[in-house]
Structure 1
Amino acid sequence: MDRRIQKSRQAIMDAFMKLMSEKDFESITINQIAEEANVNRGTVYLHFTDKYDLRDQCMEAHLNQLLRSCMPEEDRVFTSKTALLRTFEHLEQHASFYNVMLTSKGSVVFRHRMETMLQQSLNEHLDSIGFDPELNREITVQFLISAGAGLLEWWITRSIPYPAAVMVEQFWRLLERLQLQSAQSDEDE
């Protein structure tokens, strides 16, 4: 892609994110985005169909960057401790974007997309390990998605109260204890 085109596209995305941090998504107009990006309105429409397309492409770009930088091709799941640490570190480095997306009124769309990505990753992992047939897969996946997405959202929206390494260590211990609890309960019965 031509550098000028890339530069205009990035300026539009940056302007959109700045406006998202200041106001409600529904009140943002293409004219405001163009003005903030210092481009004309037609340039915005050359790159994006409308503000919904712009929002969706911003989300996809950041989530794809998260996948590329946090998980190598051979480890495309969030279930290794190393991948989890890389994920939290990436979120920490890009906290402003994730905070805006998780706290704006459009956050439902972003959270849904993030949960879909987690669900795909978890399903791939469960397929690879031979999932316990005594557990309901759908309930297990939903539980883990809710826990993971909820924890990430809490961490980001509370201005990262703990370092990434602490978050990963605590989350990992909780996951391990859940497995131990189930084994102990079976033995107690």
Structure 2
Amino acid sequence: MEVRIDRRIAKTKAAIFQSFVSLIAEKNFEHITINEIADRANINRGTVYFHYSDKYDLLNKCIEENLNQMIAVTTATDRNGETIDLIESSFLPVMRYFEENHHFYFSMLSNKGVPAFRDRMLELTTTHINIHINMDGVNLNYNKELITQFMASAFVGIVEWWILNHMPLSADDVAQQLWGVLKRNQVIN
């Protein structure tokens, strides 16, 4: 049985997230208050507390939702219900996701009050790579953890550079060049 989410709840949560992200873009996370989030979302503070225990809970849920969306764009399901990892052939889907959500990622990566964001992004990327990395062929004689850490750090570093520099290259160019550099250095097959 499919669980249906009340549209009003979804709309309220979206307003809270949008309000929160806009405040993060303006000021340090530590200086943001629940009252400011509620005022900007045009709701009362009790509604924020109904959905989130505090601003740290809101931050964690916001990060979790966006990073899960990042992972979701890297996979698809075939006719047989099998999961296909789109990263095996291109970084383009995830780079386009970052491009579409530039405001959120720029706000999180540039806000000094949210150092955990980059760490969580790196952790999630590392886990995803660790699951999907092919250790055959050119990777056979290398340590899996070393290659995984290298790829995750390189990927997150490039994404961070690209976003914080207001995307000086197109998503297509970044995806193609990052893929090419990793392939040229035999990190990927």
1:76-111 deviations in Å (ceiling 9; x for gaps): 463431xx1000011101100110011012442111
Q: Equivalents in 2 of 1:150, 1:76: separation in Å? A: 21
1:63 maps to 2:63? no
Relative to structure 1, the CA distance from residue 108 to residue 78 in structure 2 (aligned partners, 3 Å threshold; closer, same or farther) is: farther
Could you list the runs of 5+ residues in structure 2 that have no partner in the other structure?
A: 78-82
Aligned to 1:185: none
Could you say if the C-alpha distance between residues 173 and 99 of structure 1 is closer, same or farther in structure 2, counting changes exceeding 3 Å?
same
Detail structure 1 runs of 4+ shifted over 4 Å in the superposition: none
Structure 2 residue aligned with 1:187: none
Match of 1:167 among 159, 169, 174: 174
2: CA distance between counterparts of 1:96 and 1:176?
A: 30
TM (norm. structure 1) is: 0.86
Does residue 78 (structure 1) correspond to residue 87 (structure 2)? The answer is yes
2:95 aligned with 1:88, yes or no?
yes
1:130 shift after superposition: 3.7
SS at match of 2:186: helix
Helix, strand or coil for the counterpart of 1:179?
coil
Residue type at the aligned position of 2:168: P
2:148 aligned with 1:141:
yes
| Distance across 1 between alignment mates of 2:99 and 2:127 | 23
State the match for 1:47 in structure 2: 51
Please provide the CA RMSD for this pair.
1.8
Q: Is the 8 A contact 1:77 1:124 kept in 2?
A: no
State how far apart, in whole Å, the 1-side matches of 2:85 and 2:53 are.
Answer: 31
Q: What is the CA–CA distance in structure 2 between the aligned matches of 1:27 and 1:178, rounded to whole Å?
A: 44
- The answer as to whether partners of 1:78 and 1:122 remain within 8 angstroms in 2 is no
Q: Answer whether contact 1:30 1:50 (CA < 8 A) is retained.
A: yes
TM-superposition CA deviations, 1:29-78 (whole Å, max 9, x none): 11111111111111000000110110111111112222223421423463
Identity of aligned residues (%): 40
1:117 aligns with 2:121: no
**1:8 and 2:12 are equivalent in the alignment:** yes
Work out whether residues 21 and 107 of structure 2, in 8 Å CA contact, stay in contact via their aligned partners in 1: yes
- The answer on whether the counterparts of 2:24 and 2:111 sit within 8 Å (CA) in structure 1 is yes
Q: Which residue of 2 aligns with 1:186?
A: none
| 1:27-42 mapped onto 2 (5 Å cutoff) | 27-42=31-46
1:184 aligns to what? Answer: none
Give the Cα–Cα distance (whole angstroms) in 2 for the partners of residues 70 and 77 of structure 1: 5
The structural deviation recorded for 1:17 is 0.6
